[in-house]
Structure 1
Amino acid sequence: MSSFERIKFDLRHADTELASFKAWLAAVNFVGETVIVSEIKKRRHMACLLASTLGLPAPDMIKFELALKGMFRTDLVLGNDGQRRFGLIEFEDAEATSIFKKGTPQYRFWSPRIEHGFSQILDWAWVRSDHPNDSVLLGGFGGPITTNAYAVICGRDASLADDVERKRFKHRRDHLKVEGQPALVLTYDEMVRSMEDNLSVAKTWT
């Protein structure tokens, strides 16, 4: 039995939800994972806008905190039932040290928070590769999985201290792949801008 909820994506709801989330995010500066994920979970149609960012068709399946086999959990999964394509998204916190932490003033290390997010999606990719016909996995997803796309949302634009950190972050986003698919990394500010772009494009189709 599928773990997903069905959703009929609505542009008007997405527009309203995105505007309210953008205003909320602008007011909070840095914030922890529990708080920001709670705000996203209130806005299911807004969350569906991430599908376009991942190069996926419009979703009609959604699930927050999908857990299978008592081992693996991902914060958000969006799916298109007809094409059997899914996007797995990990939300980390939006603190000043979410992306880079410690190190030296000239070169900070990647934060454990962002590494944790990528470890989660790597484990999901592994379990699908290792058990492609697993009945629990297929049951949870409501059938076969054609492709997965991945994203980690972490940190704020303001948590990138200088041009070097911005370039390191962009390079990671542009070049990292899992199972041949892009594994995007975005700040929450970039997520909002991407959602705005996707919403603008979707409006031209109506």
Structure 2
Amino acid sequence: MIVLKSGQLRERDCRSELDEFASFLLAGKDIKETDLLDFFEARPQLILLMGRLVGVEGATQYNNETPIIGKYRADFVVSNDNNSTFAFIEFENAMESSIFTKKINKKTLAHSWSLRFEHGYSQVIDWYHHLHENNGTQNMQAEFGRHNIKYYGALIIGRANSLNKSDCRHRFEKRIECSTIYNKHITCYTFDDLYEEMELEYQILSGFK
């Protein structure tokens, strides 16, 4: 059975953790995956807010390093209070070469997709396959307390400025927009874009108590 912690978005705490996130991103150009995981693990407001962006309205439960029906593991999981909707989130590192390689392919004049991006993206695809195959089964009931859940997957990777070269931003956005698995998109943000979207979400929710 999945084990989750209870939480609640609070305006003051959320504001404080968002400011810490902004400072964290400004402090380093390249950030290791372990440093990102440790940073978020200590800040539940950011985890819950991230879950809302991925698709969980009323996000109130979360955890890190959480198994997915025994086969895979998500860096972060966020759900609503009745465990009917889940966000499964994968982190990769935040470096210039996280999404595209630094070097241009001389034969095509295009940057190649990085192995790091392909690994993270494929990880979320594997989650979708696994959850789809188990939806409606006793495995799903045993793991989530119900036979069917609504679920979303996300990959958070890289830095926004790395997409400014050549046509990288356009290719990145089109890949995310046009790719579906079982009619589901995979949410994908750079860490800088994640912060910007969190700020917008905070402004929308700034009236909560």
TM-score w.r.t. the length of structure 1 is 0.90
Alignment of 1:1-206 (within 5 A): 1-68=1-68, 70-82=70-82, 84-101=84-101, 102-104=103-105, 106-205=109-208
Q: Deviation digits for residues 66-107 of structure 1, max 9, x if unmatched?
A: 114543011111111336011111111111110001452621
Q: Report the CA distance between 1:181 and its aligned residue.
A: 2.3
Q: CA RMSD in A?
A: 2.0
Q: Residues of 1 paired with 2:162 and 2:203: CA distance?
A: 27
Gaps in structure 1 of 5+ consecutive residues: none
Letter aligned with residue 42 of structure 1:
A
What is the alpha-carbon distance in structure 2 between the residues aligned to residue 205 and residue 68 of structure 1?
31
Q: How far, CA to CA, are the matches of 2:70 and 2:85 in structure 1?
A: 23
- Please state whether the residue corresponding to 1:181 is helix, strand or coil: coil
Q: 1:197 to 1:162 in 2, by over 3 A?
A: same
- Amino acid in the other structure paired with 1:180: N
How far off is 1:8 after superposition? 2.3
- Against the structure 1 CA distance between its residues 7 and 204, is the aligned structure 2 distance closer, same or farther, given a 3 Å change threshold? closer
Which structure 1 residue ranges, 4+ long, deviate > 6 Å from structure 2? Answer: none
* Structure 2: stretches of 5+ with no match in the other structure: none
Residues 135 and 149, structure 2, Cα contact 8 Å, conserved in 1: no
Indicate the larger mover: 101-110 or 71-80: 101-110
Percent identical among aligned pairs is 27
Could you give the per-residue CA deviations for residues 105-144 of structure 1, whole angstroms, max 9, x where no partner exists? 6211111111111111111111122222444443333434
Q: Secondary structure at the match of 2:79?
A: strand
Look up the SS of the partner of 2:74 in the other structure: strand
Matched residues in 1 for 2:72 and 2:195: separation?
A: 27
Contact 1:125–1:178 (Cα < 8 Å) also in 2: yes
